[in-house]
Amino acid sequence: MSALPEMSPLLETRALSRDFGGLRAVDRVDFSVDPGEIRAIIGPNGAGKTTFVSLVCGRLAPSSGTIIFDGADITALPAHRRVRLGIAYTFQITSVYAQLSVFDNVALAVQRTLADGRSKDPSRGRLRTGVTEALERVGLAGRASLPAGQLAYGHQRLLEVAMGLALKPRLMILDEPTQGLGDGEIENFVALAREIAANATVLLIEHNMDVVMQLADRITVLEAGRVLAEGTPDAIRANEAVQRAYLGGGA
């Protein structure tokens, strides 16, 4: 009986680095995520987490190293080309269009999928349907007509998630998505993240360790721009180096 073929990573980085002057924020990181995985990245403030995912999505260019997405080298691709390939990123600081309605914010993302030909039905009806579906998934359908700037901060974070979902991503990068959410909203987000993972790979940066331990298949711990540890939630919880650097340090 022949062995099953090994699954190729959806995302891989090789010796990825980013320097800011004399500071190395990301230091030769080797990293890979499998299709359909929920991967969490944790670490103390300043560990390089947001810089790392900014390199992956194309907001920053690496100083050295390689980024592979679905077998193709995307290191030199601009951010908008990576979006077309299916990489969506919600920012650590909200980046919604405050003067536009909640509906129109998501419509901009849906229109991008229509223009890229990723929608099977490029009609106006499909635009409205796509927006409504994304808002319903994050619980904001009832606020569709409100200016986005009038939403509470936590709801602006959920609006960003809806905008990401509307892009039909293959890789969804969520940077501190539960920041500003109440306990009940966090529970709803956990359910939503699991739902997203049924159709996409999820890369999660999150300080809420309860959320991380509930959701992550594997966890990567960064410290000073380097990978300190990687493994299952149980393995990371038991790792003494992680406890000293992060979990037990109150960071």
Please name the residues in contact with 40: beta carbons below 8 A apart, sequence gap of 6 or more. Answer: 204, 205, 206, 212, 215, 216, 218, 219, 220
Entry pTM: 0.86
Q: Residue 121, CB half-sphere, CA atoms under 13 Å: how many?
A: 8
Number of H helices, E strands in the chain: 9, 10
Are residues 147 and 175 part of one domain? no
Tell me the one-letter amino acid at 49.
K
Does residue 4 have a pLDDT over 80? no
- Would you state the pLDDT for residue 91? 63
Kindly state whether residue 58 falls inside one of the protein's structural domains. yes
Are residues 180 and 74 part of one domain? yes
Are residues 77 and 121 part of one domain? no
Would you list the DSSP string of 215-242? Answer: H-SEEEEEETTEEEEEE-HHHHHH-HHH
Asked which of 133, 168, 203 is the last residue of a domain, the reply is 168
Are residues 105 and 62 part of one domain? no
| Domain containing residue 146 | 97-168
C-alpha span between 31 and 40 (Å, rounded)? 12
Kindly state whether residue 80 falls inside one of the protein's structural domains. yes
Cβ-based neighbour number of residue 104 at 10 Å: 16
Asked which of 149, 168, 187 is the last residue of a domain, the reply is 168
Are residues 235 and 186 part of one domain? yes
SS3 210: helix
pLDDT tens digits, residue range 120-175?
555 567 889 989 999 999 999 999 999 999 998 888 888 988 999 988 899 999 98
pLDDT tens digits, residue range 107-133?
988 887 776 555 555 556 788 998 999
Kindly state whether residue 1 falls inside one of the protein's structural domains. no
